[in-house]
Amino acid sequence: MSEKVVLAFSGGLDTSYCVLALKEQGFEVHTAFVDTGGIDPDQKAWIARRARDLGAAEHHELDAAQPLWDQFVVPLLWSGARMLEQYPMLCSDRYVIVQECLQLADRLGTRRFAHGCTGMGNDQLRFDQSVRSLGDYSIHAPIRDLQRETANVRAHELKLMADAGIDVPESNSRYSINENLLGVTLSGQEIDEFGVPGDDTRVLCRPRSEWPEQALALTIGFQNGRAVSLDDEQLPGPEILKRLNQRLGAYGVGRHIYTGDVSIGLKGRIVFECPGVDGLMIAQRALREAVNTRLQNQFQPAIAQRWAELVYTGFFFEPHKADLEAYLENANQYVTGVVRLASDGGAVEAVAVGSRYLLKDPDAVYAQSAGWTPEEAEGFVKLIGQSSTLAARVRR
C-alpha cells in the first residue's frame, strides 16, 4: 500500500501541482484545506472538487478560524506589532495550518507532511520550522524540489496542469493569492516587478468611486486587550473581524503595498488588504495608550518589534515568543473599555475612548487646568533639565 502524506492544500496552482507530484512519487495524498476564514462555502466546495479532480485519496476540511484568533490575533493586538511598522503578518495563518495538518497526520497514522512553498520566500521557514518545533515529521516540498529542475517554476506548473487536463483560473495564473480571516495578500506579475498593481488586485477594499456617501461610525469593546463586541453586540473574535473586513473594506480602509526583506536575502513585494485588522489595531492602541502608564507605553514598541520579528521569520513556537506574550498579557490586563471608530473613506480614526481605567486626573487636564502650583512646575522643569543645563555650561 502507498504511504500516506498530508498536504496543506489551498486549491491554488502550487498546491495543485503538489498533488500531482506527490502521486507521481507513489504517495497516497490526503489534501487538507485548513479554513482560517475569508473563504465562502462556494469556494470551499470548489477547493474540494479540485482536490478530487487532481486525484487526492481523501480531502479534509479543518476549521481553524478560532485558533488563529486566539493564538495570533489576540497577541497581535496586545503588541500592536507590524513588521517594519507596516505589515501585520497576515501570513501567520501558516502556523495554525501546520498545527491542524500535523494533528490530521497523527489521526491518519503518518509522519509525512507536505507543503507548496518555494525555496525563495519566508513561507518555507514558517512551515518547516513549525513542523520541527511541533514534532518529528518528514517534510515534503515539491515546489522547492522543482527548482532544482527549472528556473521558471510557474511555467512548468502551468504546463503540467494543462497536460493533466486541469484548468487554472486566470487569477491564479496571474497572481499568488492568500485569503484568510486576517485579510488578503497578493504577489506576482507587476507586483513583483515593482509596477502599479492592476485593478484586479482589489478584493476587500473598494476603490474611491465606490465608497458610500454616508460616513461610517462604529464602536468596538475590549476586555483585557481582547476585542469582545461590535456596536454593543457581544461576538466571537472571528465574527468581529469578518464584519469589520466588510464594513471598513467598503470604505477602502486597509489597502497597502509592502516591500519586505525575505530572510534568504531577496526583496519581497506584496499587495495586502486588512480592513478589520487595521480597525482593531487602531482602536486597541488608542485604548491601551490611554490606560497604561508612560513607562509601559514607552516599552511597548521594543516588545512589538521583537514579537513581530519572531512571527514573521518562522519562530511562532519559539519559547522566547511565549515569554514576550506573558509580558504582553500582563500589560493588557486593564485595557478594557470602548472605542469609537469613524471613517469618511480611505482611512479610519479612533475618535473617542471610554474606560473606567483611563489615567485621568479630575484636577488636571492637559492644556486646560493643573493640579499643581506654578512654583512646582518651575522647579520640575529646572530639575528635569539639570543634566542638559550642566553639560551646556561646562562645555562652553
Lowest-confidence region among 129-143, 185-199, 336-350 = 185-199
Cα–Cα dist 5/57, whole Å: 10
**Between these two residues, 86 and 162, which has the higher pLDDT value?**
86
* pLDDT (tens digit per residue) in 273-323: 999 999 999 999 999 999 999 999 999 999 999 999 999 999 999 999 999
pLDDT for the residue numbered 328: 98
The string over 53-89, giving b where at least 16 C-beta atoms fall within 10 Å of a residue's C-beta and e elsewhere, is: ebebbebbebebbebbbebbbbbbbbbbbbbeeebbb
User: What region, left, alpha or beta, does residue 329 occupy, with left being phi > 0 and alpha being psi -120 to 50 degrees?
Assistant: alpha
In angstroms, how far is the first alpha carbon of the chain from the final one?
87
Half-sphere exposure of 396 (CA within 13 A, CB side): 6
Q: Are 211 and 251 in contact (CB under 8 A)?
A: yes
Q: How far is CA 161 from CA 58, 117, 233, 244, 248, in A?
A: 20, 18, 47, 37, 38
pLDDT for the residue numbered 369: 77
* pLDDT (tens digit per residue) in 195-221: 999 988 999 999 999 999 999 999 999
The alpha carbon dihedral of 261, 305, 253, 183 has a sign of: positive
Question: Is it true that 4-174 and 183-354 share their CATH fold?
Answer: no
For 4-174, which CATH superfamily applies? HUPs (3.40.50.620)
Q: Where are the domains of the chain?
A: 4-174, 183-354, 366-396
Cα–Cα dist 182/195, whole Å: 25
Residue with cell 512589538: 304
> In the predicted model, what is the mean pLDDT of residues 340-353?
97
Q: Kindly state the helix (H) or strand (E) to which residue 271 belongs, with its residue range.
A: strand 267-273
Task: Using alpha carbons, select from 40, 44, 49, 46 the residue that is nearest to residue 61.
Answer: 44
* pLDDT (tens digit per residue) in 216-260: 999 999 999 999 999 999 999 999 999 999 999 999 999 999 998
* pLDDT (tens digit per residue) in 82-112: 999 999 999 999 999 999 999 999 999 999 9
Cα–Cα dist 167/324, whole Å: 46
pLDDT band for position 173 (cuts 50, 70, 90):
low
pLDDT band for position 366 (cuts 50, 70, 90):
confident
- pLDDT at residue 147 above 80? yes
**Between these two residues, 156 and 375, which has the higher pLDDT value?**
375
Q: Which three three-digit cell numbers place residue 240?
A: 468581529
CATH 3.20.20.80 describes domain 183-354: no
Alpha helices in 142-274 (DSSP H): 142-146, 153-163, 170-174, 189-192, 237-249
pLDDT for the residue numbered 373: 86
* pLDDT (tens digit per residue) in 175-200: 888 889 999 999 888 999 999 999 88
> In the predicted model, what is the mean pLDDT of residues 329-346?
98
pLDDT for the residue numbered 265: 77
Model-level pTM? 0.90
Burial class (CB in 10 A: 0-12, 13-18, 19+), 392: exposed
Q: Kindly state the helix (H) or strand (E) to which residue 306 belongs, with its residue range.
A: helix 294-312
- pLDDT at residue 171 above 70? no
Cα–Cα dist 246/254, whole Å: 11
Cα–Cα dist 386/396, whole Å: 16
- pLDDT at residue 11 above 70? yes
Q: Which of 261-270, 362-371, 378-387 has the highest mean pLDDT?
A: 378-387
Q: Which three three-digit cell numbers place residue 113?
A: 507532511
pLDDT for the residue numbered 88: 97
